Structure 1
Amino acid sequence: MKVLYLDCFSGISGDMLLAALIDLGVPLSVFEEVIAQLGIPVEIKGTAVYKKGIRASRAVLAEQAGQPVERSYHQLQEIVTRSSLPPQISTKVEGALLRLAQAEAEAHGVEVEKVHFHELGGLDTLVDLAGAFAGVSYLGVEQVCASPLPLARGTIMTQHGLLPLPTPATLNLLKGAPTYGVSIEGELVTPTGAVLVTTLAGSFGPPPAARWEKFGYGAGTKELPQPNLLRLWLGESLAHKEDRDLPALAFDQDLVLVLETQVDDVNPEFLPYLRMQLEKEGAIDVAFIPTMMKKGRPGIIVSILSPPDRLSSLARILFRESTAIGLRWYQAGRIKLFRTSVEVETPFGSIPVKLGYALRPDGSREYLNLAPEYEACARRALETGRSIKEVYRAALKAADGLEPPAE
């Protein structure tokens, strides 16, 4: 089974995806045919460029003179409806275009009918969408995965004025997708890039198990401190057939730091205080793990889960409040269930229950875990004089078969 991995280390836009597909080996004629099927006055060219010493392709779209500077959502939908695009492509384009319009409408507080597209009068959006879907189809790809998406800060001038980055429409399109912040100013993920990656990718995370055969690099127009490239990996999946038959699920993901040190001479009475200070400074979690150190001495591994921006402050507390004189740290990825909660009624009173879920490719939820809130169970047990086990079991029973909250 052919698998395509979207390595979005510098973000993603429509033209970067087209360029990466060209670099991967999709002939320019595939995109020219898409333009002809759409019946629009646009030309596409592919050129070779270099970004920080890496050779890549760039896709350049040019519109014939005398075209409108903007088109409404319905005007673009009408172009797709009249086109001769294959049904499997036109259906995806219509769906993605609707999501784009809905995201813009929500961001600016207008009806979908009043949304307008400005770049090349909106025609470049059609080429980006139809070209991407046609290019992936040409490669015979059956599974698409993507990396978590980097989000930068700053502002961008638009037809609506100066907007913060990521733009509100982009954020609307990335609901449920794993992202992480980077210290770069500029637009890394565009609305078109956001709708394409969330439409194409069945899952987000590290590259899946595969035998990789080809790689393609698509260049963005901006100059960044790092190579402004989208990298595509094309290969043959190594997943077992029974795994491939399961629907791909998207999980919540992020990046954290792990700080660790080993001590054999700390007063154990000080450890709860150390944990309290670390958590107060922003540590996500703190664990004390028994270990055997040099010379057969029993010791403790202090393991701290930290947000990416708390390394120095947490290290300072660790050195100040323990006998550690050094630590090791490294970056780690986390895969998590998305979370929500509901209140359930029990003979002991109402108790909140946490629900963990993943997202199916169609955006619906698959609930995989549930757990009553401990503090609420303990409070009810004290109030009623019953054991916490009874209260916990009652909450689980009440939650069994519960209708999940509206999505």
Structure 2
Amino acid sequence: MILSLNPFGGLAGDMLLAALLDAGASLDAVRRAVALTGLTGWRVEAEQVRTGPLVAVRFRVEVEDDATERPAAELIAMAARAGLPVAEAALTAIAEVEGRLHGVPAAGVHLHELGGHDTLIDIVGCAAALRDLGVTRVHCAPLPLGGGTVRTRHGVLPVPAPATLALLQGAVVRGGAAGEAVTPTGAALLRAAGADYGPAPEMTLRATGYGAGTREVPGRPNVVVAMLGEPTAETTQQVVLSANLDDVTGEVLGHVIERALAAGAADAWVTPAVMKKTRPAHVLHVLTPPELAGRLEELVLAETGSLGLRRGVVDKVALPRHFETVRLHGQDVRMKHGPWGVKPEHDDLVRLAAATGRPLRQLAREALDAL
């Protein structure tokens, strides 16, 4: 599922979580994830509120412990217990940025304003909601930066806060009205989710949600809009080269496939066949973009010695996909996400199996569990 965000009023962790809940995420799933962290003395609710002319959802946190200071390492460890990589990555990003800004190692960062219950709840809750909705890609429209100043433990700082700006490196931003429009928590969640920026992608819209912030803005709703949609397929025209071969060895066929793929073929494969005079044979197929067809045709004819081949034009339907990486036994394993599932890259598993001596099937299950 694709999540496309319109940060109309800005973006904070509680606003994003409220929008996801309004779009259909389960509040019980959020509560279960927060409970796994070991955090105590909290209660969360989602309520409908009016902000400007719109009705939206506001996420509300009530805590018995109102302390706002904790070591970043403590929050990261608690998020890890929930088994949500996005939450762990968001808190790690905050710790790394704060460490760079204040000249201390990330492991020694002590969070002040961001060290409270609500930071952990917002981040873990958002990660749980994304998982509950099956979100695999996140897009965001340009973020309003806001302006002015904010009072912190370190004194008066400009808005956006330095930590927010550091977390937004690579994001597309725009000017905005005075006030803190994007919080460090919101920026960290976008970074951890691998958000892309720009116009909403092509998708089939399935649900929308409106998440309200706590700040009242005269004359306009203070909301972030979440749009959930299913990806649409991309259709391109491709050329298929085919050659019937009854006098080419398996070694040569494998070599031709490797060379064709290295030269830019979209795919290459062999099927068994019975030719004239009932000779057993193989049909070599090469799928290629039209602009590479001539070069790949020469390659096939030169390598196989065939006196001819066939060209056919086909429509290739490609569903969108993207990759993320999980860390397993000290090595990176790429995970390929499609609209209907996810699987680890085979070559990465082969390398890991050789390094660890573990069975390939076991490593595949571990990689999926690590998501």
Which category describes the TM-score, using the shorter chain as reference length? 0.5 to 0.7
Residue 167 (1) aligns with residue 161 (2): yes
- Is 1:57 the counterpart of 2:133? The answer is no
Tell me how far apart the structure 1 counterparts of residues 216 and 9 of structure 2 sit (CA, whole Å): 11
State the 1:232 CA deviation.
0.2
Structure 1 residue aligned with 2:189: 196
Please show how residues 64-213 of structure 1 align to structure 2 within 5 Å.
Answer: 64-65=64-65, 68-81=67-80, 83=81, 85-86=82-83, 89=84, 91-119=85-113, 121-182=115-176, 184-213=177-206
Q: Deviations over 1:150-196 (max 9, x none)?
A: 111100111111110000000101111111112x1100110010011
Taking structure 1 as the reference length, what is the TM-score of the superposition?
A: 0.56
**Native 8 Å contact 1:209 1:239 kept in 2:** no
Give the 3 Å change call, closer, same or farther, for CA 243–25 of structure 1 in structure 2.
closer
Contact 1:48 1:56 in 2 (8 A): yes
The corresponding residue for 1:218 is 211
SS at match of 1:175: coil
Change (3 A) 1:92 1:49: same
**In 2 relative to 1, CA 25–7 (structure 1 residues): closer, same or farther, beyond 3 Å?**
same
1:54 shift after superposition: 0.3
Give the drift of 1:108.
Answer: 2.7
Work out the CA distance in 1 between the residues paired with 2:186 and 2:16: 8
CA distance in 2, matches of 1:200, 1:78: 19
Question: Which of the pair has the greater relative contact order for Cα pairs under 8 Å at 6+ separation?
Answer: 2
**Alignment-derived partner of residue 4 in structure 2:** 5
Structure 1 residues 77, 217: closer, same or farther in 2, change over 3 A? same
d(CA) in 1 for partners of 2:198, 2:135: 18
SS in 2 for 1:244: coil
Q: Does 2:17 correspond to 1:23?
A: no
User: Among the aligned pairs, what percent are the same residue?
Assistant: 39
Q: Using the alignment, how far apart are the partners of 1:208 and 1:69 within structure 2?
A: 38
For 1:255-303, what per-residue CA distance to the aligned partner results, in whole angstroms no more than 9, with x for missing partners?
xxxxxxxxxxxxxxxxxxxxxxxxxxxxxxxxxxxxxxxxxxxxxxxxx
| Residue identity matched to 1:17 | L
Pair 1:92–1:200, CA change in 2 (3 A): closer
2:113/2:152 contact within 8 Å kept: no
Rate the CA distance shift 1:24–1:116 in 2: closer, same or farther, 3 A: same
Counterparts of 1:121 and 1:151, CA distance in 2: 23
Alignment of 1:272-351 (within 5 A): none
Superposed displacement of residue 3, structure 1: 1.4
- Measure the CA separation in 2 of the matches of 1:136 and 1:246: 16
RMSD: 2.2
User: Residues 174 and 239 from structure 1, CA distance in 2 versus in 1: closer, same or farther, beyond 3 angstroms?
Assistant: farther
1:233 to 207, 211, 227: 227
Structure 1 residues 228 and 204, CA, compared in 2 at 3 Å: closer, same or farther? same
Deviation digits for residues 320-341 of structure 1, max 9, x if unmatched?
xxxxxxxxxxxxxxxxxxxxxx
Q: Structure 1: which 5+ runs fail to align?
A: 249-360, 362-407
The question of whether the paired residues in 1 share the 8 Å contact of 2:71 and 2:111 is answered with: yes
Q: TM-score, normalised by structure 2?
A: 0.61
Q: CA deviation at 1:247?
A: 5.9
